[in-house]
Amino acid sequence: MSIDLTQRLKDRVAIITGGASGIGFATAKRFADEGAFVVIADVDPASGEAAAAEVGGAFRPVDVADEAKVDALFNGVAEEFGRIDIAFNNAGISPADDDSIETTELPAWDRVQDVNLKSVYLCSRAALRHMVPAGRGSIINTASFVALLGSATSQISYTASKGGVLAMSRELGVQFARQGVRVNALCPGPVNTPLLQELFAKDPERAQRRLVHVPMGRFAEPEELAAAVAFLASDDSSFITASAFVVDGGITNAYVTPL
């Protein structure tokens, strides 16, 4: 029997937070190409509407750190479309005032934790309310390679938040495995996204210090991460849960990288 891999996600409903740009938008396009109906959830209505129109999906505005708004997003999508099969909890920030622990103040710490970690808790909980009764679903949470390594170019709250995402995803993956819901953490290496470009444009030396440690000699493209997310969302990964799915060009396994 032949399998049409371009339709692995046919008729499934997916919610992508932070879906208007970067990895989220690349994944929205990939999901749509594989047959899913995509709901892009983002804080920016202009870019969110444009992204949804491009993939033939829907846009829903959301503040991912607001419990009521997150619950309204997931409940509304389930009511309108009858199901939620995939939740890609991807929204995140990496602001300039999140730096070394010596200079990062509590407001910056709290803001990053709210958007990067609390949002994954809220979105996962909201998704599980619909996936558990259905007996199926795939949740993919965006962590990072910095959840696995210490970085000398620290973004202390970002690093801590991504470690939390990884630990929480493992626990949820174990807890809900026998209820038909898989939960995995995506751990990207540095990705060529607007977020990274903005950060490194302000500090080219920081970019080079990171790039030299990537064995493949380049940053990832968003589409390469989207392919990994699509795999985790599909039945091709039906025996994968509670995993740290690392897509990093080899950085977490490198001791010395030749120049």
Task: Give per-residue pLDDT as tens, 51-62.
Answer: 999 999 999 999
pLDDT at 198: 74
Other CB atoms within 10 A of residue 211 CB:
16
Q: How confident is the model at residue 50 (pLDDT cuts 50, 70, 90)?
A: very high
Report the range of poorest mean pLDDT among 1-10, 71-80, 134-143, 219-228: 1-10
CA 140 – CA 211 distance, rounded (Å): 26
What would the two tokens of residue 254 be?
Answer: 């490198």
- Catalytic residue numbers, as ranges: 158
pLDDT at 2: 60
pLDDT score of 181 more than 80: yes
Pairing of strands 181-188, 13-17: unpaired
**Where do the H-state alpha helices sit in 98-187?**
106-113, 119-134, 156-175
Percentage of the chain lying above the pLDDT 90 cut? 82
Nearest to 158 by CA among 174, 146, 170: 146
Domain ranges in the chain are 9-191+223-245
Which phi and psi angles does 196 have, rounded to 5°?
-70, -40
Nearest to 199 by CA among 164, 233, 158: 158
Q: Interior CA angle at 239 toward 6 and 24, to 5°? A: 50
Just give the CATH number of 9-191+223-245: 3.40.50.720
Q: How confident is the model at residue 210 (pLDDT cuts 50, 70, 90)?
A: confident
Q: How confident is the model at residue 258 (pLDDT cuts 50, 70, 90)?
A: low
Which phi and psi angles does 105 have, rounded to 5°?
-90, 165
